Amino acid sequence: MHNGIFCCVRSGMSMKKYFSIVFVFLFTLNVSAQESDSIMLRKIYTEILLNGKAYEWLEHLSNKIGGRVSGSKEAEQAVEYVTGIMKQTGADTVWLQEVMVPHWVRGLHEVAKILKSNQAVKPLQITALGGSVATSAEGVTASVIEVRSFDELKKLGADKVKGKIVFYNHVFDQTKINTFEAYGEAVRYRWYGASEASRYGAVASIVRSMSSSLDDYPHTGAQGYNDSLQKIPTCAISTMGAEELSNTLKEDPKLTVYLKFNCSMQDSVKSYNVIGELRGKSKPEEILTIGGHLDAWETGKGANDDGAGVVQTLELMRSLKSLGIRPARTIRAVIFMNEENGLRGGRVYASEAIRKNEKHIAAIESDCGSFTPYGFGLEMPEEKKVIIRNWAPLFRPYLIWNFEIDESGADISPLINQAKVPGIGLIVDSQRYFDYHHAASDTFDKINKRELLLGAAAMASLSYLLSTYGL
């Protein structure tokens, strides 16, 4: 540049004219890059929408293998299947990363009944929460205390709670447009509910399912015991069952509830993260991680949570390879194991990345279901958000417009927190997600092929830009 200034002065060109030429040159370069990127994104979307394989892969994962709770034979089958698909995508390298995972077994189907004081009996739809201890062989029968918050429970105290079943009837906040906000408020009753009930002497706990819909599908999920307190059996009740139990309690406060389930925690089991790479051509040491989690609660088929994220990640790899795109930076697809009840896959991956002193430029996760994508959550410093938001015009033709939410994904959270890697989450229309989340209704028939492929195309497009320009 200094030589250019010297030359322009010697030639009699004014500084003003010189900088005008430089500005036009740089502006032209930028416009040219934008046009080139726009063409590439169009190619990615076209390839995936016309030739995408994600839908058929998900059909097999959901219907031929099904629920894939960590440590199960179904999880083992899923690892084998996904490893084969990763190789089919054309990944340069595919390998398995060993992960020791908890092995919780549900056992025989749970039973729950309302026993009214007039001897009438009503069945209830429940499901044991992940990690729960079993009831005794005879089951548990006790009076019920209904609360809507931990504050209500604390005010009741041990005098009114001891020997009873605590029923957390916390209703999803329907005013929350982002349903994950409502979930965030409700899920603490699932996670802490059993231990908080035990603190006051309860013999079991029931939590209203984390759902915005009124149906008869109980939603399971992980819960966490406080090891300093007695571990008591805990389960989720369907939202319709919660309404029925609440209304019946008002009519008959002396009713009791019978619970019986047979779950157990067994020894940890060896499992794997499935990893594949497209090696970067100019900066291979810089890594972009993308992924979803393979494990799923066995109450359903794990189609939306998170089979969708798994096959979208695989589709991303397939489409870039099919288009002949050799990324500048390495794109690494990670199919994580054990997000649902331990996050062991994400933790092992982050630990290994740190141990190897790997340079990760960003991590992207899809774990919000297969629904219509409309943005990316950005969990990173503001100056890096600006870089990604500058690409927003490229995504507008595909109705990807929201880059304002500070959310990413659970599996990549250890990488974000421990290695300070920028995190990104695919944002989708979540209004139906909690109809199916952790429930028997999470089945393949709920998947819309076009929505699923649009999510894969959005992830592939952002991955292309990040691998090209870095962050």
Cis ω on the peptide bond leading into residue 306 (within 30° of 0)?
Answer: yes
Residue that the structure tokens 């089958």 belong to: 77
Angle of helix 449-469 versus helix 308-322 axis, rounded to 10: 60
- What's the CA gap between 260 and 204, in Å, rounded? 10
Residue 389, CB half-sphere, CA atoms under 13 Å: how many?
Answer: 14
Give the Cα separation of 70 and 67 in Å (integer). 10
- Please give the pLDDT value at position 15: 52
Measured distance CA(212)–CA(171) in Å, rounded: 8
Burial of residue 110 (CB within 10 Å: 0-12, 13-18, 19+) is: buried
Token readout for 302 is 């794990």
pLDDT at position 35: 78
Around Cβ 316, how many Cβ atoms within 10 Å?
Answer: 31
pLDDT in tens, the chain (471 residues): 444 433 343 445 555 554 454 444 434 445 556 679 999 999 999 999 999 999 999 999 999 999 999 999 999 999 999 999 999 999 999 999 999 999 999 999 999 999 999 999 999 999 999 999 999 999 999 999 999 999 999 999 999 999 999 999 999 999 999 999 999 999 999 999 999 999 999 999 999 999 999 999 999 999 999 999 999 999 999 999 999 999 999 999 999 999 999 999 999 999 999 999 999 999 999 999 999 999 999 999 999 999 999 999 999 999 999 999 999 999 999 999 999 999 999 999 999 999 999 999 999 999 999 999 999 999 999 999 999 999 999 999 999 999 999 999 999 999 999 999 999 999 999 999 999 999 999 999 999 999 999 999 999 999 999 999 999
Collapsing DSSP states into helix, strand and coil, what is residue 331?
strand
Nearest to 77 by CA among 56, 63, 95: 63
Question: By C-alpha distance, which of 261, 248, 254 is closest to 205?
Answer: 261
Residue 383 near residue 328, CB atoms below 8 Å: no
* Pairing relationship of beta strands 264-278 and 93-105 according to DSSP bridges: antiparallel
What is the model's pTM?
0.91
Residue 275 to residue 103: CA distance in whole angstroms: 22
Q: Does the structural domain 40-104+267-469 have CATH classification 3.30.379.10?
A: no
How far apart CA 337 and CA 13 sit, in angstroms, is: 64
Residue positions annotated with a catalytic role: 339
Sheet holding 373-379, edge to edge: 93-105, 264-278, 329-336, 283-293, 359-365, 423-428, 373-379
| SS3 readout for 177-205 | CCHHHHHHHHHHHHHHHHHHHHHCCCCEE
Say what the pLDDT of residue 155 is. 97
Topology, domain 109-262: Glucose Oxidase; domain 1 (3.50.30)
Q: What pLDDT sits at residue 432?
A: 96
User: CB–CB of 144/237 below 8 Å?
Assistant: no
Sorted by where each begins, the domain ranges of the chain are 40-104+267-469, 109-262
Which DSSP letter does residue 444 get? G
Res 428: pLDDT: 98
